[in-house]
Structure 1
Protein backbone atom coordinates (compact mmCIF):
# COMPACT_ATOMS: atom_id res chain seq x y z
CA UNK A 1 0.00 0.00 0.00
CA UNK A 2 1.45 3.35 -1.00
CA UNK A 3 -1.53 5.64 -0.61
CA UNK A 4 -3.19 7.10 2.44
CA UNK A 5 -6.60 6.74 0.76
CA UNK A 6 -7.90 3.24 1.41
CA UNK A 7 -10.20 1.44 -1.01
CA UNK A 8 -13.87 1.38 0.07
CA UNK A 9 -13.86 -2.40 0.54
CA UNK A 10 -10.81 -2.15 2.81
CA UNK A 11 -12.51 0.62 4.77
CA UNK A 12 -15.58 -1.59 5.15
CA UNK A 13 -13.48 -4.53 6.36
CA UNK A 14 -11.71 -2.38 8.93
CA UNK A 15 -14.99 -0.89 10.16
CA UNK A 16 -16.47 -4.36 10.84
CA UNK A 17 -13.39 -6.56 11.37
CA UNK A 18 -14.92 -9.60 13.11
CA UNK A 19 -17.67 -10.02 10.53
CA UNK A 20 -15.31 -9.36 7.62
CA UNK A 21 -12.78 -11.96 8.78
CA UNK A 22 -15.48 -14.56 9.42
CA UNK A 23 -16.83 -14.07 5.89
CA UNK A 24 -13.44 -14.35 4.20
CA UNK A 25 -10.16 -15.39 5.79
CA UNK A 26 -11.78 -17.49 8.52
CA UNK A 27 -14.93 -18.61 6.73
CA UNK A 28 -13.81 -22.23 7.11
CA UNK A 29 -14.10 -22.12 10.91
CA UNK A 30 -16.98 -19.64 11.22
CA UNK A 31 -20.16 -20.65 13.02
CA UNK A 32 -23.12 -18.90 11.35
CA UNK A 33 -26.78 -18.19 11.88
CA UNK A 34 -28.31 -15.72 9.43
CA UNK A 35 -26.60 -12.33 9.62
CA UNK A 36 -24.55 -13.36 12.69
CA UNK A 37 -21.26 -15.28 12.80
CA UNK A 38 -18.75 -16.15 15.50
CA UNK A 39 -15.51 -17.96 16.12
CA UNK A 40 -15.63 -21.30 17.92
CA UNK A 41 -14.91 -20.68 21.60
CA UNK A 42 -11.58 -22.48 21.39
CA UNK A 43 -10.32 -19.93 18.86
CA UNK A 44 -11.62 -16.60 20.17
CA UNK A 45 -14.65 -15.20 22.04
CA UNK A 46 -15.56 -12.94 19.10
CA UNK A 47 -18.90 -12.46 17.34
CA UNK A 48 -19.73 -10.33 14.32
CA UNK A 49 -22.95 -9.07 12.77
CA UNK A 50 -23.44 -7.97 9.18
CA UNK A 51 -25.12 -4.71 10.16
CA UNK A 52 -26.38 -2.90 13.23
CA UNK A 53 -29.68 -2.47 11.40
CA UNK A 54 -30.51 -6.15 10.91
CA UNK A 55 -33.44 -5.99 13.33
CA UNK A 56 -34.32 -8.74 15.79
CA UNK A 57 -31.50 -11.29 15.76
CA UNK A 58 -32.29 -12.87 19.12
CA UNK A 59 -32.98 -16.28 17.59
CA UNK A 60 -29.68 -16.26 15.71
CA UNK A 61 -27.76 -15.26 18.81
CA UNK A 62 -29.36 -18.06 20.81
CA UNK A 63 -28.11 -20.58 18.24
CA UNK A 64 -24.53 -19.34 18.57
CA UNK A 65 -24.07 -18.24 22.20
CA UNK A 66 -24.52 -20.58 25.15
CA UNK A 67 -26.40 -19.56 28.32
CA UNK A 68 -24.05 -17.65 30.62
CA UNK A 69 -21.48 -17.09 27.85
CA UNK A 70 -20.01 -13.69 26.96
CA UNK A 71 -18.85 -12.76 23.48
CA UNK A 72 -17.14 -9.59 22.24
CA UNK A 73 -18.00 -7.34 19.31
CA UNK A 74 -16.05 -4.57 17.63
CA UNK A 75 -17.12 -1.86 15.20
CA UNK A 76 -20.73 -2.94 14.68
CA UNK A 77 -23.16 -3.96 17.41
CA UNK A 78 -26.84 -4.95 17.30
CA UNK A 79 -29.51 -3.95 19.77
CA UNK A 80 -29.36 -6.38 22.68
CA UNK A 81 -32.38 -8.73 22.74
CA UNK A 82 -34.38 -9.10 25.97
CA UNK A 83 -32.46 -11.17 28.50
CA UNK A 84 -29.04 -10.23 27.09
CA UNK A 85 -26.61 -7.79 28.70
CA UNK A 86 -24.67 -5.45 26.40
CA UNK A 87 -21.74 -3.58 27.97
CA UNK A 88 -19.79 -0.86 26.18
CA UNK A 89 -16.07 -0.54 26.86
CA UNK A 90 -13.87 2.39 25.99
CA UNK A 91 -13.33 2.38 22.20
CA UNK A 92 -10.05 0.98 20.90
CA UNK A 93 -7.54 2.81 18.74
CA UNK A 94 -7.42 1.19 15.30
CA UNK A 95 -4.04 1.90 13.70
CA UNK A 96 -2.56 1.14 10.29
CA UNK A 97 0.81 1.34 8.56
CA UNK A 98 1.06 1.78 4.77
CA UNK A 99 4.84 1.79 4.24
CA UNK A 100 7.71 -0.47 5.35
CA UNK A 101 9.66 0.01 8.57
CA UNK A 102 13.35 -0.37 9.40
CA UNK A 103 13.92 -3.55 11.39
CA UNK A 104 16.26 -3.07 14.35
CA UNK A 105 19.11 -5.49 14.92
CA UNK A 106 18.39 -8.13 17.49
CA UNK A 107 17.95 -11.81 18.29
CA UNK A 108 16.63 -14.27 15.74
CA UNK A 109 12.89 -14.19 15.03
CA UNK A 110 11.42 -17.70 14.87
CA UNK A 111 8.12 -18.95 13.41
CA UNK A 112 6.02 -20.40 16.22
CA UNK A 113 4.12 -23.63 15.78
CA UNK A 114 2.64 -26.53 17.72
CA UNK A 115 5.93 -27.20 19.49
CA UNK A 116 5.79 -23.69 20.97
CA UNK A 117 2.09 -23.66 21.87
CA UNK A 118 2.67 -24.23 25.58
CA UNK A 119 5.14 -21.34 25.73
CA UNK A 120 2.75 -19.08 23.83
CA UNK A 121 -0.17 -19.91 26.11
CA UNK A 122 1.97 -19.32 29.20
CA UNK A 123 3.16 -15.91 27.96
CA UNK A 124 -0.28 -14.75 26.86
CA UNK A 125 -1.80 -15.92 30.14
CA UNK A 126 0.71 -13.71 31.92
CA UNK A 127 0.56 -10.50 29.85
CA UNK A 128 -2.31 -10.86 27.32
CA UNK A 129 -4.88 -12.89 29.24
CA UNK A 130 -8.35 -11.88 28.05
CA UNK A 131 -8.80 -13.03 24.45
CA UNK A 132 -6.15 -15.67 23.69
CA UNK A 133 -7.44 -19.23 23.53
CA UNK A 134 -6.06 -22.73 22.98
CA UNK A 135 -6.49 -22.48 19.18
CA UNK A 136 -5.94 -18.76 18.61
CA UNK A 137 -2.59 -19.62 17.03
CA UNK A 138 -4.48 -21.43 14.26
CA UNK A 139 -5.97 -18.13 13.06
CA UNK A 140 -2.69 -17.01 11.46
CA UNK A 141 1.07 -17.05 11.65
CA UNK A 142 2.93 -16.39 14.90
CA UNK A 143 6.52 -15.39 15.51
CA UNK A 144 8.67 -15.08 18.60
CA UNK A 145 12.03 -14.31 20.11
CA UNK A 146 13.56 -16.76 22.57
CA UNK A 147 16.12 -15.71 25.15
CA UNK A 148 17.62 -17.77 27.96
CA UNK A 149 15.49 -20.71 26.89
CA UNK A 150 12.24 -18.76 27.33
CA UNK A 151 9.76 -17.12 24.96
CA UNK A 152 10.71 -13.50 25.56
CA UNK A 153 8.36 -11.80 23.07
CA UNK A 154 5.85 -12.68 20.38
CA UNK A 155 3.54 -11.37 17.69
CA UNK A 156 0.83 -12.95 15.57
CA UNK A 157 -1.85 -12.56 12.95
CA UNK A 158 -5.50 -12.71 13.90
CA UNK A 159 -8.29 -10.96 11.94
CA UNK A 160 -8.19 -9.97 8.32
CA UNK A 161 -9.25 -10.43 4.72
CA UNK A 162 -7.22 -10.86 1.56
CA UNK A 163 -6.45 -7.14 1.58
CA UNK A 164 -5.78 -6.35 5.25
CA UNK A 165 -4.27 -8.31 8.14
CA UNK A 166 -4.39 -7.63 11.85
CA UNK A 167 -1.28 -7.91 14.00
CA UNK A 168 -2.16 -9.17 17.46
CA UNK A 169 -0.81 -10.60 20.72
CA UNK A 170 2.21 -8.29 20.52
CA UNK A 171 3.66 -8.88 23.96
CA UNK A 172 6.90 -9.18 25.90
CA UNK A 173 7.64 -11.11 29.07
CA UNK A 174 8.25 -8.60 31.90
CA UNK A 175 11.75 -10.03 32.42
CA UNK A 176 12.69 -8.85 28.91
CA UNK A 177 11.04 -5.45 28.70
CA UNK A 178 13.05 -2.54 27.36
CA UNK A 179 15.11 -4.50 24.83
CA UNK A 180 13.17 -3.45 21.73
CA UNK A 181 11.81 -6.92 20.98
CA UNK A 182 8.20 -5.80 20.39
CA UNK A 183 9.33 -3.11 17.97
CA UNK A 184 11.57 -5.55 16.10
CA UNK A 185 8.77 -8.10 15.76
CA UNK A 186 6.23 -5.48 14.72
CA UNK A 187 8.50 -4.01 12.04
CA UNK A 188 9.24 -7.48 10.66
CA UNK A 189 5.56 -8.41 10.39
CA UNK A 190 4.55 -5.01 8.97
CA UNK A 191 7.08 -5.42 6.18
CA UNK A 192 6.10 -9.01 5.48
CA UNK A 193 2.40 -8.12 5.38
CA UNK A 194 2.99 -5.24 2.98
CA UNK A 195 5.16 -7.47 0.77
CA UNK A 196 2.21 -9.88 0.55
CA UNK A 197 0.00 -7.04 -0.74
CA UNK A 198 -2.05 -6.54 2.42
CA UNK A 199 -2.51 -3.60 4.79
CA UNK A 200 -1.20 -4.15 8.34
CA UNK A 201 -3.52 -2.97 11.11
CA UNK A 202 -3.87 -3.43 14.84
CA UNK A 203 -6.08 -2.52 17.77
CA UNK A 204 -4.78 -1.11 21.02
CA UNK A 205 -6.45 0.07 24.19
CA UNK A 206 -6.18 3.73 25.15
CA UNK A 207 -5.59 2.37 28.66
CA UNK A 208 -2.27 0.93 27.45
CA UNK A 209 -0.25 4.12 26.84
CA UNK A 210 3.03 2.23 26.57
CA UNK A 211 1.77 0.25 23.57
CA UNK A 212 0.19 3.33 22.00
CA UNK A 213 3.47 5.20 22.27
CA UNK A 214 5.36 2.28 20.69
CA UNK A 215 3.08 2.20 17.64
CA UNK A 216 3.16 5.97 17.31
CA UNK A 217 6.97 5.91 17.38
CA UNK A 218 6.89 3.26 14.67
CA UNK A 219 4.80 5.59 12.52
CA UNK A 220 1.41 3.92 12.68
CA UNK A 221 -1.51 6.11 11.69
CA UNK A 222 -4.48 6.31 14.09
CA UNK A 223 -7.21 5.56 11.57
CA UNK A 224 -10.13 5.80 14.01
CA UNK A 225 -11.47 4.90 17.43
CA UNK A 226 -13.61 1.81 17.06
CA UNK A 227 -16.39 0.67 19.39
CA UNK A 228 -15.85 -2.38 21.60
CA UNK A 229 -18.56 -4.26 23.52
CA UNK A 230 -19.29 -7.46 25.41
CA UNK A 231 -22.60 -9.26 24.99
CA UNK A 232 -23.68 -11.78 27.62
CA UNK A 233 -26.52 -14.23 27.41
CA UNK A 234 -28.38 -14.72 30.67
Structure 2
Protein backbone atom coordinates (compact mmCIF):
# COMPACT_ATOMS: atom_id res chain seq x y z
CA UNK A 1 0.00 0.00 0.00
CA UNK A 2 2.85 2.38 0.82
CA UNK A 3 4.29 1.75 -2.64
CA UNK A 4 1.05 2.96 -4.24
CA UNK A 5 1.10 6.14 -2.14
CA UNK A 6 4.70 6.83 -3.09
CA UNK A 7 4.25 6.16 -6.82
CA UNK A 8 1.11 6.16 -8.96
CA UNK A 9 -1.13 7.50 -6.19
CA UNK A 10 1.30 10.18 -5.05
CA UNK A 11 -1.10 12.87 -6.29
CA UNK A 12 -3.75 11.50 -3.90
CA UNK A 13 -1.47 11.38 -0.86
CA UNK A 14 -0.73 13.47 2.22
CA UNK A 15 2.70 13.25 3.84
CA UNK A 16 4.38 14.31 7.03
CA UNK A 17 7.85 13.21 7.99
CA UNK A 18 7.96 9.39 7.90
CA UNK A 19 4.21 8.89 7.46
CA UNK A 20 1.86 8.98 4.48
CA UNK A 21 -1.89 8.55 3.99
CA UNK A 22 -4.51 9.16 1.33
CA UNK A 23 -6.56 12.32 1.08
CA UNK A 24 -9.55 11.97 3.47
CA UNK A 25 -12.23 11.60 0.77
CA UNK A 26 -10.18 9.02 -1.17
CA UNK A 27 -9.26 6.37 1.43
CA UNK A 28 -8.26 5.90 5.07
CA UNK A 29 -5.23 3.71 4.29
CA UNK A 30 -2.06 4.90 6.02
CA UNK A 31 1.57 3.81 6.12
CA UNK A 32 4.73 4.49 8.09
CA UNK A 33 8.26 4.15 6.72
CA UNK A 34 9.28 2.01 9.70
CA UNK A 35 8.01 1.11 13.16
CA UNK A 36 10.14 3.64 15.03
CA UNK A 37 8.25 5.90 17.50
CA UNK A 38 8.96 8.98 15.37
CA UNK A 39 7.11 7.47 12.41
CA UNK A 40 4.01 6.89 14.53
CA UNK A 41 4.27 10.43 15.95
CA UNK A 42 4.39 11.73 12.38
CA UNK A 43 1.29 9.72 11.42
CA UNK A 44 -0.60 10.92 14.51
CA UNK A 45 0.23 14.51 13.63
CA UNK A 46 -0.76 13.95 10.00
CA UNK A 47 -4.14 12.44 10.88
CA UNK A 48 -4.97 14.42 14.00
CA UNK A 49 -6.22 13.23 17.42
CA UNK A 50 -8.72 10.35 17.70
CA UNK A 51 -8.65 9.71 13.95
CA UNK A 52 -8.83 6.34 12.20
CA UNK A 53 -5.71 4.83 10.61
CA UNK A 54 -6.34 1.80 8.39
CA UNK A 55 -2.93 0.11 8.30
CA UNK A 56 -4.20 -2.46 5.78
CA UNK A 57 -1.93 -5.54 5.92
CA UNK A 58 1.07 -3.83 7.53
CA UNK A 59 2.54 -5.75 10.46
CA UNK A 60 4.04 -2.60 11.99
CA UNK A 61 2.88 -2.24 15.59
CA UNK A 62 1.87 1.22 16.88
CA UNK A 63 2.58 2.49 20.41
CA UNK A 64 0.41 1.29 23.28
CA UNK A 65 -1.69 4.48 23.36
CA UNK A 66 -3.05 3.79 19.87
CA UNK A 67 -6.51 2.20 20.25
CA UNK A 68 -7.12 -1.02 18.24
CA UNK A 69 -10.27 -0.68 16.09
CA UNK A 70 -10.43 -3.92 14.12
CA UNK A 71 -8.48 -7.02 13.14
CA UNK A 72 -9.51 -9.17 10.16
CA UNK A 73 -7.83 -12.27 8.77
CA UNK A 74 -7.58 -12.43 5.00
CA UNK A 75 -5.50 -13.44 2.05
CA UNK A 76 -3.83 -11.84 -0.93
CA UNK A 77 -4.52 -13.55 -4.25
CA UNK A 78 -2.74 -12.95 -7.58
CA UNK A 79 -3.92 -13.73 -11.09
CA UNK A 80 -1.86 -16.54 -12.60
CA UNK A 81 -3.58 -16.69 -15.98
CA UNK A 82 -5.15 -20.13 -15.85
CA UNK A 83 -8.78 -19.04 -15.52
CA UNK A 84 -11.54 -19.38 -18.13
CA UNK A 85 -10.57 -18.22 -21.60
CA UNK A 86 -13.52 -15.85 -22.04
CA UNK A 87 -12.07 -12.43 -21.24
CA UNK A 88 -13.12 -11.14 -24.66
CA UNK A 89 -16.75 -11.75 -23.71
CA UNK A 90 -16.38 -10.41 -20.19
CA UNK A 91 -17.20 -6.86 -21.25
CA UNK A 92 -20.71 -7.66 -22.50
CA UNK A 93 -23.14 -5.43 -20.61
CA UNK A 94 -20.30 -3.80 -18.63
CA UNK A 95 -20.14 0.00 -18.47
CA UNK A 96 -17.50 2.41 -17.19
CA UNK A 97 -18.35 4.27 -13.98
CA UNK A 98 -17.16 7.82 -13.48
CA UNK A 99 -17.75 10.72 -11.12
CA UNK A 100 -21.38 11.01 -12.22
CA UNK A 101 -21.99 7.45 -10.99
CA UNK A 102 -20.60 8.00 -7.47
CA UNK A 103 -24.03 8.31 -5.77
CA UNK A 104 -25.12 5.00 -7.34
CA UNK A 105 -21.79 3.38 -6.47
CA UNK A 106 -21.97 4.46 -2.85
CA UNK A 107 -25.57 3.30 -2.55
CA UNK A 108 -24.60 -0.15 -3.83
CA UNK A 109 -21.59 -0.26 -1.49
CA UNK A 110 -23.81 0.69 1.46
CA UNK A 111 -26.21 -2.18 0.76
CA UNK A 112 -23.56 -4.86 0.05
CA UNK A 113 -20.66 -3.72 2.31
CA UNK A 114 -17.65 -5.10 0.40
CA UNK A 115 -15.39 -2.56 2.09
CA UNK A 116 -14.89 1.20 2.51
CA UNK A 117 -15.75 3.49 -0.39
CA UNK A 118 -15.49 7.26 -0.01
CA UNK A 119 -16.66 10.13 -2.27
CA UNK A 120 -13.36 10.14 -4.20
CA UNK A 121 -12.39 6.46 -3.99
CA UNK A 122 -13.22 6.09 -7.68
CA UNK A 123 -10.17 8.25 -8.45
CA UNK A 124 -7.87 5.36 -7.44
CA UNK A 125 -8.43 3.63 -10.80
CA UNK A 126 -11.00 2.50 -13.34
CA UNK A 127 -14.38 1.27 -12.09
CA UNK A 128 -16.82 -0.87 -14.06
CA UNK A 129 -20.45 -1.70 -13.44
CA UNK A 130 -23.55 -3.49 -14.68
CA UNK A 131 -26.94 -1.77 -14.78
CA UNK A 132 -30.35 -3.37 -15.01
CA UNK A 133 -33.19 -1.07 -16.11
CA UNK A 134 -30.94 1.87 -15.27
CA UNK A 135 -30.11 0.70 -11.73
CA UNK A 136 -26.52 -0.15 -10.82
CA UNK A 137 -26.64 -3.74 -9.57
CA UNK A 138 -22.96 -4.77 -9.67
CA UNK A 139 -19.57 -3.10 -9.71
CA UNK A 140 -15.84 -3.65 -9.30
CA UNK A 141 -12.78 -1.48 -9.73
CA UNK A 142 -9.10 -0.77 -9.27
CA UNK A 143 -7.62 0.30 -5.94
CA UNK A 144 -3.97 -0.08 -4.85
CA UNK A 145 -1.49 0.27 -7.71
CA UNK A 146 2.09 -0.58 -6.75
CA UNK A 147 4.50 -0.56 -9.72
CA UNK A 148 3.66 -3.40 -12.12
CA UNK A 149 0.49 -4.42 -10.29
CA UNK A 150 -3.14 -3.32 -9.91
CA UNK A 151 -5.50 -4.44 -7.15
CA UNK A 152 -9.08 -5.38 -8.00
CA UNK A 153 -11.47 -4.23 -5.28
CA UNK A 154 -15.06 -3.25 -4.40
CA UNK A 155 -16.46 -6.36 -6.09
CA UNK A 156 -20.14 -6.43 -5.16
CA UNK A 157 -23.57 -7.36 -6.48
CA UNK A 158 -26.99 -6.32 -5.21
CA UNK A 159 -28.83 -9.15 -3.50
CA UNK A 160 -31.63 -9.22 -6.09
CA UNK A 161 -29.11 -9.56 -8.96
CA UNK A 162 -26.92 -12.36 -7.60
CA UNK A 163 -26.49 -15.67 -9.36
CA UNK A 164 -26.25 -14.13 -12.83
CA UNK A 165 -22.47 -14.12 -13.21
CA UNK A 166 -22.09 -10.37 -12.82
CA UNK A 167 -19.09 -10.53 -10.46
CA UNK A 168 -17.24 -12.94 -12.74
CA UNK A 169 -17.83 -10.75 -15.80
CA UNK A 170 -16.65 -7.64 -14.01
CA UNK A 171 -13.52 -9.25 -12.57
CA UNK A 172 -12.58 -10.75 -15.94
CA UNK A 173 -13.17 -7.38 -17.64
CA UNK A 174 -10.80 -5.78 -15.13
CA UNK A 175 -8.25 -8.57 -15.65
CA UNK A 176 -8.34 -7.84 -19.39
CA UNK A 177 -8.01 -4.12 -18.75
CA UNK A 178 -5.09 -4.51 -16.34
CA UNK A 179 -3.14 -7.09 -18.33
CA UNK A 180 -3.53 -4.96 -21.49
CA UNK A 181 -1.45 -2.34 -19.67
CA UNK A 182 1.26 -4.91 -19.02
CA UNK A 183 0.38 -5.14 -15.32
CA UNK A 184 -0.66 -8.06 -13.13
CA UNK A 185 -3.97 -8.20 -11.24
CA UNK A 186 -4.20 -9.05 -7.55
CA UNK A 187 -6.84 -8.74 -4.86
CA UNK A 188 -7.54 -9.20 -1.17
CA UNK A 189 -10.38 -11.15 0.41
CA UNK A 190 -11.48 -11.99 3.95
CA UNK A 191 -10.86 -15.58 5.03
CA UNK A 192 -14.52 -15.91 6.01
CA UNK A 193 -15.69 -15.07 2.48
CA UNK A 194 -15.33 -18.60 1.17
CA UNK A 195 -17.73 -18.03 -1.72
CA UNK A 196 -15.62 -15.19 -3.09
CA UNK A 197 -12.40 -17.21 -2.65
CA UNK A 198 -13.90 -20.06 -4.67
CA UNK A 199 -14.99 -17.64 -7.41
CA UNK A 200 -11.58 -16.01 -7.64
CA UNK A 201 -9.88 -19.39 -7.83
CA UNK A 202 -12.19 -20.37 -10.68
CA UNK A 203 -11.29 -17.15 -12.48
CA UNK A 204 -7.55 -17.85 -12.29
CA UNK A 205 -6.43 -16.31 -8.99
CA UNK A 206 -4.23 -18.17 -6.54
CA UNK A 207 -3.36 -17.38 -2.92
CA UNK A 208 0.00 -15.65 -2.57
CA UNK A 209 -0.03 -15.15 1.19
CA UNK A 210 -2.27 -14.88 4.23
CA UNK A 211 -2.52 -11.42 5.79
CA UNK A 212 -4.04 -9.69 8.81
CA UNK A 213 -5.83 -6.40 8.22
CA UNK A 214 -5.69 -3.97 11.14
CA UNK A 215 -7.00 -0.53 12.01
CA UNK A 216 -6.18 1.80 14.88
CA UNK A 217 -7.27 5.13 16.31
CA UNK A 218 -4.68 7.80 17.01
CA UNK A 219 -4.18 9.06 20.60
Give the TM-score taking structure 2 as reference length. Answer: 0.91
Please give the per-residue CA displacement for 1:117-163, whole angstroms capped at 9, x wherever unaligned: 11101001111264111110111111101112210111111101230
Unaligned stretches of 5+ residues in structure 1: 1-17
Q: Who is 1:21 aligned against? A: 4
**Equivalent residues in 2 for 1:25-40, closer than 5 Å:** 25-40=8-23
Give every structure 1 segment of 4 or more consecutive aligned residues whose post-TM-superposition deviation is greater than 4 Å. 104-107
Which of 159, 171, 186 is matched with 2:171 structurally? 186
**Alpha-carbon displacement from aligned partner over 1:79-100 (angstroms, at most 9, x marks no partner):** 3224212356233210010327
Matched, 1:150 2:135: yes
Separation in structure 2 between the aligned mates of residue 163 and residue 188 of structure 1, nearest angstrom: 18
Shift of 1:212: 1.1
Aligned length: 216
The structure 2 residue matched to 1:80, chosen from 41, 57, 62, is 62
Question: RMSD of the alignment, in Å?
Answer: 1.9
Q: Does 2:187 match 1:202? A: yes
Residue 49, structure 1, aligned to residue 61, structure 2 = no
Alpha-carbon contact 1:74-1:226 (below 8 Å) kept: no
**Partner of 2:23: helix, strand, or coil?**
coil
Return the alpha-carbon distance in structure 1 between the equivalents of residues 80 and 130 of structure 2. 25
Deviates more, 1:161-170 or 1:89-98: 89-98
Paired with 1:129 and 1:95, the residues of 2 have a C-alpha distance of: 16
Distance 1:72 1:114 in 2: 24
Matches of 2:40 and 2:209 in 1, distance apart? 29
Correspondence for 2:98: 113
Of 74-83 and 224-233, the range deviating more from structure 2: 74-83
Alignment correspondent of 1:68: 50
Unaligned runs of 5+ in 2: none
CA distance in 1 between partners of 2:200 and 2:145 (Å): 19
